Chains A and B, each alone.
Chain A
Amino acid sequence: MTAHHPIRVLPFLFAGLIIWATRFLFVYAFVALACARGFAEGAIAGIGIVPVAIVVATVAALAANGWVIIRGAVRARSGAAEADQHDSALFIGYVAAAVAALSIIAIVWETLPALVVPVCTA
């Protein structure tokens, strides 16, 4: 499978937002379960279990996106070495990195409510 096989290119292009979706789904499901099943009151080292889970998921997602940005930059630069692949590789690297950057903005923005809103109040 070459570096330009669609099975490798398309998931890489969308990687940032796949990470966003995974984190979003996890956080949504975790909060829903915690509130419905009453374990939202639990705490780890004095901090509520829900904020801990959200922060851990968020940090992991941000780190993964950082990795995608680095990979995107490397890929865009490597395109220059293959004359006939230059535009394509540059594009794929650039868009993958930009998608990951957008994902970071969305993740940070969507995490802010966790800092100010009480967890299970309807």
Chain B
Amino acid sequence: MTRPDDTPRPPGELAALEAIWLPPRGFRLLTAVNNTYIGMYYTGAAVLFFLLAGILALVMRAQLAVPDNDLVGHDLYNQLFTMHGTMMMFLFAVPAVEAVGILMLPNILAARDLPFPRLSAYAFWAYFVGGTAFFCSLFFGLAPRGGWFMYPPLTSFEFSPGISEDFWLLGIGFIEISAIAGAIEIIVGIMRTRPPGMSLDKMPVFAWAMLVFAGMIIFAFPAIILATALLELERAFHWPFFIAEKGGDPLLWQHLFWFFGHPEVYIIFIPAAGMVSMIVPAMARTPLVAYRLVVLALIGTGFLSFGLWVHHMFTTGLPRISMSFFSAASMAVAIPSGIQVFAWIATIAAGRLRLTVPSLFVLGFLFIFTIGGLTGVMVAMMPFDFQVHDTYFVVAHFHYVLIGGMVFPFFAAVYYWIPTVSRRPLSERLGTICFGLLFVGVNVTFFPMHVTGLIGMPRRVYTYPSELPWADLNLVSTIGAFTIAAGVAVFLVDLILNFRPSATGDAGNVWKAGTLEWLPTGYYQTRSIPHITSREPLWEQPGLAEDVVAGRFYLPGAPTGRRETLVTSAVDARPQYILTLPGPGWSPFAAALFTAAFFLLLTVKLVPAALVCGVVAIASIWLWLWSSDPGPGAAVDAGAGLTLPVNVAGPPSHSWAATVALLLVLGTIFGCLVFAYAFIWTVNPAAWHRANVLPPTAWPLASAAVTVLAAATMVASTLLLRSYGRPLARAGFHLALVCGIPLMLGAPAIDIAGRLQTGMRPVDHAHGALVYTVAGVQALLACTVTLMTIHVLARSLCGRLNAERRATFDNTMLLWHYTAAQGLVGLALTHGFPLLAGSGLP
């Protein structure tokens, strides 16, 4: 159905739709979950952390303005650069692009909301509460000091006693959870809530960019999750993963950190590139040149960026041939980046670029990012890198890349998209001044740093003697930094004067752009969900906006009487079913608040209070899940002559897709753990073998057998659920689940008991620490699936689960089987591999 349905809409339909989507008022705004509100909160919080981290940078620049300065001491300076880097990367850059995704994607896809609104709300509040507390650690002198990449042994218990580094390790924990939650939401949202007709070849480039971004988070963040967990175990319990004397290796941290850290740069660049690919065609008033090659470039950058991590480790003494591969890969990634730059230039050349504020920021981005890219190719060459490693040349390089590659596109996007959420656009005059100050400021600050680095100034020094020839260049950089601050101040003035948030009376399509976010919207987003036939529907489909507003397409009302959106097939975007969505609620807010409290209280060693908060967080999540999974409903009229089912279970469902994404995260965490195990075995074989004491084979065999039995109980439950209507089958279903729990918990317990009786202890050696970590991770997963299984049982006993209403069961079943599989692989790794590698039994 590509033609609109002209049948008049029934009276009262629009009013009912508005009432259903009406946001909460007053303090209950904390309970809002829909993307317009969460997206705005998220973006606002990211900008707040940008300002706070920027102020820290200004203090550092003031300190370095003149030689022998005593404005701040070395200890505070260490805290400043650590917090500046950490906040800019974890509290600004990633959340900011994720925030723009959450705010804009439903508009761009003409969806009513993303498929898991409460997950977005949870992700935001966990990030905001935790991030604020993390920042406040500065005021108590408790901020971390080890630099944003936290290299041990400096950051381990011996050289960094106290809790400052724990703030980083546990503080980053909730941000990782938040980022992954947002990524899963974004993947499922893009794949399943596109408007009918928007097949993959018609998907806006920003959606492609966010898809690649979210996929990269799924595979990159697990490495930092594992790394932070290992370092925290080392700090808290002295498990020596990174201590060379005990068979560990500090380079393990560097591998894990940069396996996350390098893709992280592209994780923030790719969405920014997606924003640019939306802005350039709108400003040049012509479709993006080489759309398919730009999609290729996004996919290519996403993959190739995982092959670069060792280029941060060129000075660590790895085999030269290994480093050569990474050096070559670092240059190869310039190819897809280059494709995009040429596509933007060609688009500008093909159309007539209007020199608006978004255009200026895009041009600034092209200039600054290209310089950063070129110095990137320079440092990709090992001999050059050896010279400038840990100098201000590198500081200049990554600020050009990050500010050019993310901050300028972010400002461009804010100026470009603000008319979709504000009654007024921002000022062109103030925006131009802001751009001018930022552009000049960035170049004045960071260009001299190339030279400062080349003449020998190391990064992270809190002062320098006047005899060294660094003073003039540093003064210039400081002047530049305050120019940037002036530019940001102009931006804030512009926001105060012109930003008037509104979900119902926005400024509209002020740029005459062609994509769907410029359709008129209300609290419910678009009145009806259009069928599109091109990549720029507002340019190619005349009268589309009027037809959408008149309700002539899909879902012009709320046929289920609840919040809802349309789910379409992943590749061709054919309508599949109507998904009902939750409204405002306290549970995501409470869950986030207590998740953040759990991590922060653990940091300050208030373990009992942390455990209480953890329990309340789990209870809140349980409460939230209790009202989810409403089950399939009767088919309803979806408008435009289409009848669709309501909610579905099984593999076609959005919930199944999200669980699969979660399993990919878990699988990658485990993959990183396997890497850690293999790495320690590779680098220190003699010490590894000395510590290799295996229990009798009966122990792992018993554990494996119990694991297989646990999986069998879940297979039995799945079969019995099909006949749930019969009392006997229902009783058998319950019995199978109840029997499965002790088996699932028992398998890692047997493994750990077997290890303990050999006398092997995790504090003695890195090998032992890793063996117990594999078993511990398995035990943690078993506890998680136990909680989920109890939830399934409770739902079943309360009549909230049956053969059709089974999404909760399906999700538990998927995680259950994954846990069993990981358990078997873990046993093979920690018992089978040492046998193969030639160990001695006790």
Contact = CB atoms under 8 A, between A and B. Distances in A.
Interface of A: 4-6, 9-10, 13-14, 17-18, 20-21, 24, 27-28, 31-33, 35-37, 50, 85, 87-88, 90-92, 94-95, 98-99, 102, 105-106, 109-110, 112-114, 117-122
A118 B292 CA distance: 40
A100 B300 CA distance: 10
Contacts of A20: 303-304, 307
B325 A24 contact: yes
Contacts of B191: 6
Contacts of B331: 109
28 contacts: A6-B191, A13-B299, A14-B303, A17-B303, A20-B307, A21-B307, A24-B325, A35-B319, A36-B685, A37-B682, A85-B572, A88-B572, A91-B201, A95-B295, A95-B299, A99-B300, A106-B304, A109-B328, A109-B331, A110-B328, A110-B329, A110-B332, A113-B328, A114-B321, A114-B324, A117-B324, A118-B321, A119-B321
Contacts of A105: 332, 335
Contacts of B300: 17, 99, 102
Nearest to A1: B651
Contacts of B572: 4, 85, 88
B295 A33 contact: no
Given A21-B303, A109-B332, A113-B325, A99 B296 contact: yes
A120 B319 CA distance: 5
A2 B498 CA distance: 51
A36 B683 contact: yes
Given A36-B682, A87-B199, A95-B299, 8 more contacts: A6-B191, A17-B300, A31-B321, A32-B322, A88-B200, A91-B200, A114-B324, A119-B321
Contact of B321 (A14, A21, A113): A113
A31 B307 CA distance: 15
Contacts of A27: 325
Interface string B310-342: 000000011111101101110110011000000
A17 B299 contact: yes
Interface in B185-210: 191, 199-202
Interface in B152-204: 191, 199-202
B299 A110 contact: no
10 A-B pairs closest in CB distance: A113-B324, A91-B201, A17-B303, A6-B570, A88-B199, A110-B328, A106-B332, A98-B296, A4-B571, A35-B319
B293 interface: yes
Given A21-B307, A32-B682, A88-B200, A6 B571 contact: yes
Nearest to B684: A36
Contacts of A109: 328, 331-332
Contacts of A98: 292-293, 296
A17 B325 CA distance: 16
Dominant SS at the B interface? helix
Interface of B: 191, 199-202, 292-293, 295-296, 299-300, 303-304, 306-307, 317-322, 324-325, 327-329, 331-332, 335-336, 569-572, 682-683, 685
A80 to B, nearest CB: 14
A33 B332 contact: no
Interface centre among A13, A92, A110, A118 (most CB of B within 10 A): A110
Contacts of A85: 572
Contacts of A90: 201
B321 A24 contact: no
B811 to A, nearest CB: 18
Given A17-B300, A110-B329, A110-B332, A117 B320 contact: yes
A23 B331 CA distance: 18
A109 B292 CA distance: 23
Nearest to B675: A29
Contact of A9 (B292, B332, B571): B571
A117 B292 contact: no
Given A106-B329, A113-B325, A113-B328, A95 B292 contact: yes
B814 to A, nearest CB: 15
Contacts of A94: 292
Contacts of B299: 13-14, 17, 95, 99
A113 B327 CA distance: 9
A33 B683 CA distance: 9
A28 B324 CA distance: 10
A45 to B, nearest CB: 20
Contacts of B293: 98
A53 B335 CA distance: 27
A16 to B, nearest CB: 9
Contacts of B199: 87-88, 91
Nearest to B320: A121
Interface centre among B199, B317, B569, B571 (most CB of A within 10 A): B571
Nearest to A106: B332
Given A5-B571, A120-B319, A33 B682 contact: yes
B335 A102 contact: yes
Contacts of A118: 320-321
A34 B303 CA distance: 26
B296 A121 contact: no
A87 to B, nearest CB: 5
Nearest to B534: A87
Contacts of A28: 322, 325
A14 B301 CA distance: 12
Contacts of A95: 292, 295-296, 299
A23 to B, nearest CB: 10
A88 B197 CA distance: 10
Nearest to A79: B201
A31 B322 CA distance: 7
Nearest to A14: B299
B321 A112 contact: no
B317 to A, nearest CB: 5
Contacts of B682: 32-33, 36-37
A85 B307 CA distance: 35
A38 B230 CA distance: 29
Contacts of A35: 319, 322
Nearest to A33: B682
Contacts of A13: 299
Contacts of A99: 296, 299-300
A10 B570 CA distance: 10
B669 to A, nearest CB: 17
A5 B572 CA distance: 9
B325 A110 contact: yes
A110 B323 CA distance: 11
A50 B321 contact: yes
B329 A32 contact: no
